[in-house]
Amino acid sequence: MRRFFWFIVASAIVLALQAAAAGASGWEVRVPGIADSAVVLGGGIAVASGDSVSLFREGSLEWAWKAEDRVREVAAGTDGSVFAAFGSSLAKLSAEGKPLWVSDTYELAYSVHVLEDGMILVGYEYGLLAFEPVRGKLLWEHYAHEECDT
Partner 1 sequence: MPGPVRSYFTLDDRRIAIIGEVYDLSGLRENGQDYVNVVDLRRGTTDEQFEVIKPFDIFDAVTLGPELMVVSVKYSGLVRWNTRDMYGFDWRVKGDPVEYLLAGGKDSILAVYFQRDRISLISPSDGRISAEARLSAPATGKPAWDGTHYYIPAEGKVMILDADLRASSEITVPGLIGEARVHLAGKGVYLVDMDSVHYLQR
Residues that bind partner 1 (CB under 8 A): 24-34, 37-39, 43, 45, 47, 56, 59, 108-111, 113, 115-117, 119, 121, 123-128, 130, 139-148, 150
- Closest approach of partner 1 to the CB of residue 15, in Å: 9
CB-based burial of residue 11 (10 Å sphere; 0-12 exposed, 13-18 middle, 19+ buried)? middle
- Closest approach of partner 1 to the CB of residue 17, in Å: 15
Measured from the CB atom, the residue of 21 and 26 that comes closer to partner 1 is 26
113 φ/ψ angles, rounded to the nearest 5 degrees: -140, 135
Measured from the CB atom, the residue of 6 and 143 that comes closer to partner 1 is 143
Of 37, 43, 96, 104, nearest in space to 71 by CA: 37
Measured from the CB atom, the residue of 36 and 66 that comes closer to partner 1 is 36
Of 136, 105, 139, 133, nearest in space to 119 by CA: 133
- Closest approach of partner 1 to the CB of residue 31, in Å: 6
Cβ atoms of 102 and 87 closer than 8 Å: no
Measured from the CB atom, the residue of 2 and 148 that comes closer to partner 1 is 148
